[in-house]
Amino acid sequence: MNTTHTPFLFDARGISKRFRHAAIFGALESLGDGESMRFVNDHDPQPLLAQLRERYREQVQIHYVQRDPEAVVIDFVVRPFKAEQAAGGACGGGGGGCGCSGG
């Protein structure tokens, strides 16, 4: 991963389960091109990752840093938005980052 800054920390363990996915989407959508978020969780969030891949396609890269049964750390990196991504259904817009205007 080639980022020039420290990833923003998002520790999902302290967020109520009913709010986690919405909070994660909001945090990702506040990142700009090239920024990253380090996600910490107490389990491997496969359903969340499937949602992220569907929603953001190639605009958000997913890199496991640690993948243990009870401790998972993932870096999410926002790639620059390209117009052809929008045609394919990916998010992008609002500030040049990963802003999703399409829900």
| pLDDT tens, position by position, 8-61 | 999 999 999 999 999 999 999 999 999 999 999 999 999 999 999 999 999 999
Q: Which structure tokens are listed for 47? A: 């359903």
What span, in angstroms and rounded, lies between the C-alpha atoms of 12 and 65? Answer: 15
- Asked whether 12 and 39 are in contact (CB, 8 A), the reply is yes
The enclosing H or E element of 22 equals: helix 20-29
- Asked whether 37 and 25 are in contact (CB, 8 A), the reply is no
What span, in angstroms and rounded, lies between the C-alpha atoms of 67 and 82? Answer: 31
pTM for this prediction:
0.76
* Domains and their CATH numbers in the chain: 8-87 (3.30.110.40)
Q: Which structure tokens are listed for 23? A: 């909070």
